[in-house]
Amino acid sequence: MSTVFAAAVRERAGLAWRALQAARDADDAHAVLVAEAEWEDAQRLAQAHGIAIEKGRPRAQGESWA
């Protein structure tokens, strides 16, 4: 597997994660559903190809990173 492919998968996962957090912060239920599906798909793709990605958990409503 190429490192370019692995980097693309990691980038996709990062974008999906950030989109999920933005949707949660905006309290947009539809965007959360779409972003959760993309995040789960990115995780499946990474796992299928043995690519390590940061596995976070979606923040709960109102939870901060601090």
Residues 8-42 have pLDDT tens digits of: 999 999 999 999 999 999 999 999 999 999 999 99
Q: What pLDDT score does 58 carry?
A: 47
Q: What is the pTM of this model?
A: 0.76
Q: In terms of Cα–Cα distance, which of 37, 8, 6, 45 is closest to 20?
A: 37
- Other Cβ atoms less than 10 A from the Cβ of 45: the count is 15
What's the structural domain count of the chain?
1
Q: Which of 39-43, 48-52, 56-60 has the lowest mean pLDDT?
A: 56-60
Amino acid residing at 41: D
Range of the domain at 62: 1-66
From residue 24, give the alpha-carbon distance in Å to each of 13, 44, 45: 17, 21, 23
